[in-house]
Structure formats: structure tokens, C-alpha cells
Amino acid sequence: MTAEALVLARPAALTQRVPFMVSRVAWYALCGLLAVSMLLPLVWMISIALKGNGDINQLPPTFLPREFRAANFVDGPAQIGFYRLLLNTVIVTVLSTIGAVASSMIVGYGISRIDFPGRRFWFALISGSIFVPGIVGLIPLQHLYISLGLIDTWVPLILPAFFGSPIFVFLARQYYQSIPKYLDESATIDGAGHWMIFTRIMIPLTKPVWITIAIMSFQFAWNDYLSPLVYLQDAKKFTLPLGMAAFLSDQAGSQYNYYMATNLLFVVPPLVLFFLAQRYFMEGLGALGTIAK
Amino acid sequence: MTKRHRDTILGYLFVSPAIIGLLLFVAYPMVTSLYHSFTQWNGLTPAKWVGLDNYKFLFTSDPTFWPSLKVTVLWVVISVPATLAAGLALAVVVNRTIKGVKVFRTIFYLPVVLPAVAVLTLWKYIYDPTYGLANQVLTFLHLPTSLWLGDAHVALPAILIVGVWSVGGTMMIFLAGLQAVPEEIQEAAKVDGANAFRRFTRITLPMIGPIMMLQLMLALNGAFQTFNQVAILTKGGPGHSTNLLMYKIYNDGFADFITSPQLGYATAEVWVLFVIVMLVTVVMLRLTRSRVYQGEGA
């Protein structure tokens, strides 16, 4: 390449690269700003959780604790009865997650891989019921649970998950649709029945979607506030959301540092789970990207 | 037994949990609650048939129904477009192959991973007029402070801010949709001289149409049933400024349960809410469906 060509080539390369660099810098600036506004409330939570008892009522409030008080993470949970609430929540969450995954995957298999009369009808009904507001069921179901003697037990919080939540069935079905038919056909020729195909072929193949359902169902049960509020009365059976909210409305104010420290512990399990399973979660949600078909 | 028969039996066996679920958790409550909405019922003694009395009282005499409905409509009209727009905008921002994009995706999604009650009680403290972060930030920026949840004009927008802050779930679903848009079509349009805005409105938006529709339905459904935010942040106040219908139903049916259980009346309110949600959903489905199909040229 001659010197002349280099001189001529340079400005062109620069004009192409400069807007690219600018857009890159602007992108990082924008994302940084958004990230700060997303994280600020959480940093604030951590800061309160570490503050000393005198610090929290100090005016104007400081962002950094003057006295770091790590003991909040022991005293707070003790005051709120955190570990009992945690145990209750773990029991309810684990059982309902198992129920949600098993039932949604089984129903999803039946509705997308087995050819039987009426399956379109049932699928339409299941996906239609996604839009029936949950409040419709609250009063009749509460009455039903009362008459069955199941009120103030965890059954109303766990049982419904075993009947295939419509949104999860929908998600499972979308994913099953993307798996080629010839897989089952060749398995059938080899003599495998549907149960065998489901357990041996589909469960490994659909890992992203059932992990997604597990995470979503875990988050839902871990979070649920309205159902425990309606179905539980005995404070010994309360789940975390209920117990935390009750503590806040009872005695808030002076003990926000205890409260926030406990709140941070409350937040840890779903956070850890999300980070462990993040990759599958993205893949599973990707199935929604093909909803058009 | 032929294969066809076997498949029918097996098919129904596999799908049976959902069929039982539909009967138990959708059909049964719908039928009984429709009946109970025409009764006076305290949940303890047998229900007494009163015809349309509940509905008549609701529309003509209940002092809190119309304010509550007004706030609910306002909430839906503002929060649905706001969260959808914010979710889509965030998704567009993080739909790039660039270093660090995954970190930002995770940060934007973070508020959704955290338990709602933990997040809401945190925000309750953020909005504390004296000790809260919100007024601290305003003071820092030399802006006038606010009573936040204590101010009838600000309480609802304050709840909306929390909703927009935790819009990561909507972002993720939009992102899944954006990533399914084939790169080649974008490239071809670029070669044809279409600018970024044109490519977004003419290619991207129509192609994520179905996802947009799903998100719209979910957002509408969610907005009509907003409960946690009200129950934890404002308890419907100040005045009736945040007394969303869902919260009013809970109050009439459950919170006042010990003193004066009015399950029949609360059920009538449930049905009013249900009919509104269904009407809006059907209308929206009609409107968006014709749009989406035109966009795809089908």
C-alpha cells in the first residue's frame, strides 16, 4: 500500500470508528446510570442493616453507618423469629415447587406429544384460564378449605401447585413443540411407551424449561403474600413475607436496622438460586420468543 | 386395544392434573362465587338469597366503590403503558453483543429476583418523609421534598416508581423476543438504507407483536389485581387515593372478617372486577390481533 493510499484510507476508517466509539461510550454511560438507580435502594438497605441503634434515627440520615454493627444479623433474626419463618417457608416452597415442576411437565408432555381427541380444546381452556383473575377463587376456596378443616394449615399454599399452573403448562408446551417428532417415533419403534419417553428422553432434553419453571415457582411461593394472609392465622405457621410484614406493622420505626438485616437474609436464597440457574433460565424464557408459532 | 385408544387414555391421564385443577380452582370457584354474589352471607351461617341487592348497593350506595373504581382505572391506564414501555426500552438497551451486557442484564433483573414483601418494605422506608432515601436524594439535587405515601397526589405515582424499578421480568421476556428476530432481515434493511428508527418500527415491533400482546394481557391482568403494593405501602390511603378495587375487596371480604364478614358482598365486587378484566382483555385481544397480523402481512 502506498503512502498516498494510507492517507486517503485513514479518514474513512476514522469516521466509521468514531461514531461507533461514541455510541459505545454512550451505551456504557446509560447502562451505568440505570444500574446505579437500580442498585441504590439495595445499597441503602445494606447500609441500614449495618447501622448502630443510635444511627438509624439520626437526622439528617447518613449514607455510611458511623458505627458498623454486624450483630444486627444475629439480634434482628432473633427478634423477628426469623428461623422458624424460614423453616416454614422452605417447607412450603420446596413442596410446591416439586408439585409445579412435576405436574406442568407431565401435562405439557400430554398436551404436546400425545395425539388424542380433545387436546386442542383442553389446551385452549388451560391457556385461556391464565387470564382468569386469581381473586375469583379466593373466597370460595377459603370457604372450601374451612369446611375441609384445612384452614390454618399449609395445604392451601402447596396443593394447587400439583395441578399444573396454566402459565407453566403453557411454557412447557412451547418448549416441547421445539423438540423434533422423530425422536419419539424412533423410540416408539424401539418399544418405548409414553411414560418411558417422558422420563428417559424428555426430562433430560427439557432441562432449561423445567429449571425455569422451578425458579419461577420457587420465587412465586417464596414471595406469596396474599394466600398466606388469607389462609393462615397462627403466627407459628406464618411464612416469611407474612412474618416480615407483621413485624414491620407491629413495631417498625426504632428497629429498622434489625428489620433490614433480617430482610437481607430473606433475600439471599432466591438470589443464590437465580445465579446458579441463570443460564437455563435464559434458555427457558427463550421458548417464549417462539410464541408466534 | 388399538394404539389410538391407548393414546386417548394416556393423553387424558397425562393431562388430568390440569383438568382437575381447572375444575377445582377455576370452574368450582366461578360457579359458587357467582351464586354467592346474589346472597347475603357471612361465611358462618347459610347464605340468604337477596337477588341483585349487593350489586344495587355497590353501584348506588357504597361510598367507596366509585372512588375505588376511578383509582383502579387510573392505575391501569398509567401503569400498563409505563411498565411495558420501560420493559421494552430496557430490553432494547441490553439487546447487544457487547462486553459487560450480561452484568447489566442481571442488575436490571435483580429487583424481580428479590421477594416482593422485602422490596416493598424497603421502599416504604425509602419513602419515609423524615428518614427516607427519596427525600435525601431530592435534597441532594436541591429539589423540593415530598410526603410521598402520605400525600394523596403523590402516593399512586410513588407506587408506580416501585413498579418501574422492578420491571426486569417484562424486560427479560421482551429480550427473549428481540433475540428471536433474525439478524439477516435487519442487515438487509440496513443495506436498503433503512435507519435505526425505521428498522425498529417496521421490522422489530411487528416481529415481536405476539410477545407484545402476551405482555399486554399479563400487564393488564396484573394491574387490575395489584394488591401487595397497596397492602404494604399505603393501606389504600391517604383518603382513597390508592384504594384499588382488589384491595377494597380484600378489606370487605377478609380484613373485616372478624367484625363484620360480608363475603356475599365481597363476591359481588369480585364479579364486577372479573367482568371488567374480561371485557378489557377481549377488547384488547381484538384490537391487537388485527394489528399484529397486518404487521406480519398475513
Q: Is the pLDDT of residue A33 over 90?
A: yes
Residue A6 confidence class, pLDDT cut points 50, 70, 90: very low
Element (H, E) at A55: none
Distance CA(A109)–CA(A168), nearest Å, equals 12
Who wins on pLDDT, B291 or B170? B170
pLDDT in the model for residue B189: 86
Who wins on pLDDT, B294 or A36? A36
Mean of pLDDT values over A215-244? 92
Is the ipTM beyond the 0.85 threshold? no
Nearest to B274 among A31, A109, A136 (CB): A136
pLDDT in the model for residue B148: 92
Nearest to A140 among B32, B210, B246 (CB): B32
Using one digit for the tens of pLDDT, what is the confidence trace for B98-123? 888 888 998 999 898 888 898 998 99
Q: Is the pLDDT of residue A153 over 80?
A: yes
Q: Is the pLDDT of residue A121 over 60?
A: yes
Nearest to A115 among B7, B12, B122 (CB): B7
C-alpha cell at A4: 498516498
Distance CA(B20)–CA(A164), nearest Å, equals 9
What distance in Å separates residue B44's CA from the closest CA in chain A?
9
Mean of pLDDT values over A123-151? 88
C-alpha cell at A82: 426469623
pLDDT in the model for residue A293: 38
C-alpha cell at A240: 416469611
CB pairs < 8 Å spanning A and B: 253
Main-chain phi, psi angles of A190, to 5 degrees: -75, 0
Contact state of B131 with A61 under an 8 Å Cβ cutoff: yes
Least confident of A6-20, A193-207, B267-281: A6-20
Residues A209, A211, A216, A218: is their CA dihedral positive or negative? positive
Q: Is the pLDDT of residue B160 over 70?
A: yes
Euclidean distance between the first and the last CA atom of chain B, given in angstroms as a whole number: 43
pLDDT in the model for residue A289: 56
- With a CB cutoff of 8 Å and minimum separation 6, the contacts of B249 are A135, B266, B269, B270, B273
Chain B contact for A12 (CB, 8 A cutoff): no
C-alpha cell at B222: 396484573
Q: Which of residues 176-195 of A touch B (CB under 8 A)?
A: 193-194
Q: Is the pLDDT of residue A239 over 70?
A: yes
Using one digit for the tens of pLDDT, what is the confidence trace for B64-79? 999 999 999 999 999 9
Average pLDDT, chain A: 85
Using one digit for the tens of pLDDT, what is the confidence trace for B193-252? 888 888 888 888 888 888 888 889 889 989 999 999 999 999 988 988 999 999 999 888
Question: Residue A186 in contact with residue B41, Cβ under 8 Å?
Answer: no
C-alpha cell at A226: 396474599
Average pLDDT, chain B: 88
Nearest to B122 among A24, A45, A125 (CB): A45
Distance CA(B155)–CA(A34), nearest Å, equals 23
Least confident of A53-62, A111-120, B22-31, B80-89: A53-62
Burial class (CB in 10 A: 0-12, 13-18, 19+), A135: buried
pLDDT in the model for residue A287: 66
pLDDT in the model for residue B93: 92
Distance CA(A213)–CA(A230), nearest Å, equals 25
Using one digit for the tens of pLDDT, what is the confidence trace for A216-228? 899 899 999 999 9
Using one digit for the tens of pLDDT, what is the confidence trace for B28-49? 999 999 999 999 988 778 888 9
Distance CA(A51)–CA(A49), nearest Å, equals 6
Q: Is the pLDDT of residue A7 over 60?
A: no
Contact state of A160 with B114 under an 8 Å Cβ cutoff: no
Q: What type of residue sits at position B233?
A: L
Q: Is the pLDDT of residue A34 over 90?
A: yes
Q: Which of residues 229-288 of B touch A (CB under 8 A)?
A: 231-232, 246, 249-250, 253-254, 263, 266-267, 270, 273-274, 277-278, 281
User: Which chain B residue is nearest to residue A122, measuring alpha carbons?
Assistant: B19
Main-chain phi, psi angles of A53, to 5 degrees: -60, -35
Q: Is the pLDDT of residue B141 over 60?
A: yes
Partners of A245 on chain B (C-beta within 8 Å) are 117, 121, 231-232
Q: Is the pLDDT of residue B265 over 60?
A: yes
Element (H, E) at A51: none
Partners of B136 on chain A (C-beta within 8 Å) are 60-61, 63
Euclidean distance between the first and the last CA atom of chain A, given in angstroms as a whole number: 52
Least confident of A10-14, A31-35, B184-188: A10-14
CA–CA distance from A51 to each of A201, B243, B249 (Å)? Answer: 53, 35, 39
pLDDT in the model for residue B293: 44
pLDDT in the model for residue B291: 59
The residue assigned the cell 371488567 is: B276
CA–CA distance from B94 to each of A52, A61, A123, B201 (Å)? Answer: 39, 35, 34, 18
pLDDT in the model for residue B3: 80
Partners of A120 on chain B (C-beta within 8 Å) are none
Q: Which of residues 50-109 of B touch A (CB under 8 A)?
A: 90, 93-94, 96, 98, 100, 104, 106-108
Mean of pLDDT values over A100-125? 94
Strand, coil or helix: what is A116?
A: coil
Partners of B256 on chain A (C-beta within 8 Å) are none
Compute, in degrees rounded to 10, the torsion defined by CA atoms B231, B233, B236, B242. -120
Q: Is the pLDDT of residue B18 over 60?
A: yes
Question: Residue A262 in contact with residue A272, Cβ under 8 Å?
Answer: no
Q: Is the pLDDT of residue A261 over 60?
A: yes
Q: What secondary structure letter does DSSP report for A206?
A: T
Q: What are the beta bridge partners of residue B48?
A: B40
Who wins on pLDDT, B23 or B97? B23
Partners of A37 on chain B (C-beta within 8 Å) are 165
Partners of B15 on chain A (C-beta within 8 Å) are 107, 110-111, 119, 122
DSSP structure string for chain B: --HHHHHHHHHHHHHHHHHHHHIIIIIHHHHHHHHHTTEE--SSSPPEE-TTHHHHHHHHT-TTHHHHHHHHHHHHHHHHHHHHHHHHHHHHHH-S--TTHHHHHHHHHHHHHS-HHHHHHHHHHHT-TTT-HHHHHHHHTT-----GGGSTTTHHHHHHHHHHHT-HHHHHHHHHHHHTS-HHHHHHHHHTT--HHHHIIIIIHHHTHHHHHHHHHHHHHHHHT--HHIIIIITT-STTTT--HHHHHHIIIIITTTT---HHHHHHHHHHHHHHHHHHHHHHHHHHHHHHHHHHT-
Q: Which of residues 146-205 of B touch A (CB under 8 A)?
A: 165, 172-173, 176-177, 179-180
Compute, in degrees rounded to 10, the torsion defined by CA atoms B247, A136, B171, B71. -30
Q: Is the pLDDT of residue A71 over 60?
A: yes
Distance CA(B188)–CA(B32), nearest Å, equals 57
Q: What secondary structure letter does DSSP report for A110?
A: H
Instruction: Kindly state the percentage of chain B with pLDDT values over 90.
Output: 48
Using one digit for the tens of pLDDT, what is the confidence trace for B176-198? 888 888 888 888 888 888 888 88
Main-chain phi, psi angles of A141, to 5 degrees: -70, -40
Q: What are the beta bridge partners of residue B40?
A: B48
Chain B contact for A34 (CB, 8 A cutoff): yes
User: Which pTM does this prediction carry?
Assistant: 0.86
- With a CB cutoff of 8 Å and minimum separation 6, the contacts of A253 are none
pLDDT in the model for residue A86: 95
Residues A214, B232, B26, B211: is their CA dihedral positive or negative? negative
Chain A contact for B223 (CB, 8 A cutoff): no
Partners of A128 on chain B (C-beta within 8 Å) are none
Q: Is the pLDDT of residue A53 over 80?
A: no
Distance CA(A121)–CA(B193), nearest Å, equals 46
Partners of A230 on chain B (C-beta within 8 Å) are 254
